[in-house]
Amino acid sequence: MNEDSSLGYVALAFALAVGGGTLGAVLGTSHRRLCALISLGAGTLLGVTLFAILPETTEDLRWWQLLLALASGYAVFSLISKYIFHICPACAASHFDEATTHRFSEIASAMMLALAIHCTVDGLGISAGGQAEATSSASGRIVDFSIILAVCVHKIPEGLALGALLRGAGLGTKGIIFRVLAVEATTLLGGVMGWLFFPHASPFWISVALAHAGGGFVFLATHAIVGEILKHHKALVLASFGTGVGLIGVFVLFLHLFH
């Protein structure tokens, strides 16, 4: 896959998030259904880290470099969630109660900033995966398509949760779609940044970027599951999460067998 193809997949992820946000704005969504989608998306993010990113990055990074890169991605998302706002509306859906939506005007800027950082990392992750394929072996192809699948699956409940939150806050459909477009456009920004930077980067720095993104994916997955399991639909959440992890595992196995 060339760099232009990676940008196409970044655009696809953006479109899926906007589509989800539009559905959330127009139709709303039940919390049970959203929990299932959130957990499925979280499972794919953890799956891509375990089955694709870790095997790929161990080829170029020493164990301590890999741990540092993973920890940095986890720490950045953790600090943003603690001091700014929940990094992902899908992963933090249980926190968006009636009081939160009524206080939307007070938290809008922080929420948009946190989600914009998250979306930028999504775009960078897809670009890094594309460059890993361009500069390495079949394992690069596996990590590339796995990241694309995981991010795209995650983008749908992300958009739905954001649209539903904005709808609950009393915004009109046009206002919701405009805000979803503005925030999710940072996915495109991340993709363009990666498109400009990664072709000139060494395999070491591409692996660092992948591991950093993987650390963020681990935070998103654990944050989503812990929040939902402790509050709602435990069996549904576990089943959906396991399905997401298994989906990536089967997908990676398929690529290994038929690449």
84-106 confidence digits (pLDDT tens): 877 776 665 555 555 555 566 66
Q: Which two tokens stand for residue 216?
A: 């963020």
Q: Please give the pLDDT value at position 119.
A: 94
Alpha-carbon span 105 to 30, nearest angstrom = 23
Q: Please give the pLDDT value at position 104.
A: 62
Ramachandran category for residue 171: left, alpha or beta (phi over 0 → left; psi -120 to 50 → alpha): beta
CA 162 to chain centre: 14
**One-letter identity of residue 13:** A
Q: Please give the pLDDT value at position 100.
A: 57
| Helices assigned H by DSSP within the chain | 3-26, 31-48, 54-57, 63-83, 98-102, 104-135, 138-168, 173-197, 203-231, 234-258
Domain coordinates in residue numbering, the chain:
3-258
Q: What is the dihedral of CA 248, 254, 256, 259, to 10 degrees?
A: -120
Each residue's pLDDT expressed in tens, for the chain with a length of 259 residues: 555 578 899 999 999 999 999 988 887 666 777 788 888 999 999 999 999 999 989 988 999 999 999 999 999 999 998 888 777 766 655 555 555 555 666 666 777 888 899 999 999 999 998 887 776 656 677 888 899 999 999 999 889 888 877 877 778 889 889 999 999 999 999 999 999 999 888 989 999 999 999 999 999 998 888 766 666 678 888 899 999 999 999 999 998 887 6
Spatial contact of 87 and 118, defined as CB atoms under 8 Å apart:
yes
Q: Please give the pLDDT value at position 46.
A: 96
